[in-house]
Structure 1
Amino acid sequence: MGTRMSAAERREMTITAAMAEFARGGYEGTSTASIAERVGVSQPYLFRLFPTKRALFLAAAERCFEEIEDAMREAAGGLYGRDAMAAMAEIYRRILREDPTLLQFQLQIYAAAVQDEEIARLGHRRWAGLWCAVRDLSGEDAAEVTRFMSIGLLVNVLTAFGVPHTSGPDLPCSLEKWAYGVDGGDPGEGT
């Protein structure tokens, strides 16, 4: 006879399932029925764990940011300065390669935030926390942290569009080659 899961364990499974479902369909296009089915629970049980679809989306969005911040903290470890930044950048690139759901869900959070004040407030708070974590972990100044975060967003877009690129200081050169179709790259429209 199998062991019965606690409500806390079901809650964790539900957040994970919600991240995957919302990543695919966005807030508006995802049904709570599809999330309940993925978890293997009834919809009424799902609503005992999370009273509304919005509450579940917000919990999943919190988890998305937590996972990114936790990965940054782990990657930086005992490193500091440029070494910490390089380690955090590498772990983020690895996450994007190995877990496309995280990128897809981030993009859905940003899209939902445009029209939803509560989601925008969550994003505002969590982005501030992520920015501060990168600064605290690396000890770099505001300009360098801003550059780091900006490149992270650029890498999100490049990954979403399947744009070939290198990492680190060679990124601008690889994008220029791609944009102009040099070295067999796929030239951008209208160039």
Structure 2
Amino acid sequence: MRSTAVERRSDAARVALSHFARGGYDGTAVSAIASELGVSQPYLFKLFTSKSALFLECVNLCYDMIERNAISALKAASEHGRVPSLDDIGDAYQQSIADTDLLMFQLQAWAASGAHPEIKAVVAARFVRSLELGREMTGSSADEMNELFARGARLVVTSALGIGLLT
């Protein structure tokens, strides 16, 4: 059974996200991603025009996964007769970053943003979109969303380091 190009792009992004999570943007060889996929590097560049395009696809995949989990949690709250809240988003985010690849990729994306303006632009746009989505779905203020995201960033760091929050 042959896969479509769309399916191959999706598979490649998932594999690449894992590689980039471990090696970062600059430290990951596209050849290693192609090898794991069982395709040639030129074929991978047919799917994605560049390493940067592949990484950006991973940025979008990462944020899509996090947003889907948050939306599911907010819908579940509504279905259980509760008003969707920032706590639901926080819980969903904590579950999202329990996936080590997602956690580490997010850190790598932030790191790559410092050296690669095209990556920074997409990461910043997705970050802002996540803030806006959270506000829209919960009716929270900008200050409340900023506080939630600050706690989320702290959670990312403590999770990556394997330490607990200070009480």
Q: What TM-score results when the alignment is normalised by the length of structure 1?
A: 0.81
Q: Partners in 1 of 2:114 and 2:42 — Cα distance?
A: 30
Q: Partners in 2 of 1:59 and 1:96 — Cα distance?
A: 18
Contact 2:84–2:137 under 8 Å retained in 1: no
RMSD value over aligned CA atoms? 1.6
Q: Which of the residues 5, 8, 13 maps onto 1:7?
A: 5
Contact 2:131–2:145 under 8 Å retained in 1: yes
Q: Which residue of 2 aligns with 1:147?
A: 147
Q: Which residue of 2 aligns with 1:87?
A: 88
Q: Which runs of structure 1 show a deviation greater than 6 angstroms over 4 or more consecutive aligned residues? A: none
Displacement of 1:164 in angstroms is 2.1
Q: Partners in 2 of 1:115 and 1:82 — Cα distance?
A: 41
Aligned residues: 164
Identity of aligned residues (%): 35
Displacement of 1:12 in angstroms is 0.5
Mapping 1:54-73, distance limit 5 Å: 54-73=52-71
Query: Which has the higher Rg, Structure 1 or Structure 2?
Result: 1
Displacement of 1:147 in angstroms is 0.7
Q: Partners in 1 of 2:132 and 2:158 — Cα distance?
A: 24
Q: Partners in 2 of 1:14 and 1:124 — Cα distance?
A: 23
Contact 1:23–1:105 under 8 Å retained in 2: yes
- Compare relative contact order (CA 8 Å, sep 6+) and give the higher one, 1 or 2: 2
Q: Partners in 2 of 1:96 and 1:112 — Cα distance?
A: 19
1:136-183 Cα deviation digits (max 9, x unpaired): 111111111111111000100110111124xxxxxxxxx14xxxxxxx
Q: Which residue of 1 aligns with 2:119?
A: 119
Q: Which residue of 1 aligns with 2:20?
A: 22
Deviates more, 1:36-45 or 1:151-160: 36-45
Q: Which residue of 2 aligns with 1:185?
A: none
Contact 1:79–1:138 under 8 Å retained in 2: no
Amino acid at match of 2:120: A
Displacement of 1:102 in angstroms is 0.3
Displacement of 1:83 in angstroms is 4.4
Unaligned 5+ residue runs, structure 1?
Answer: 166-174, 177-191
Amino acid at match of 2:20: F
1:67-92 Cα deviation digits (max 9, x unpaired): 11111111111647974212211111
Amino acid at match of 2:162: G
Displacement of 1:25 in angstroms is 0.4
Unaligned 5+ residue runs, structure 2?
Answer: none
Deviates more, 1:69-78 or 1:121-130: 69-78
Displacement of 1:6 in angstroms is 1.1
Q: Which residue of 1 aligns with 2:39?
A: 41
Amino acid at match of 2:90: A
Amino acid at match of 1:22: F
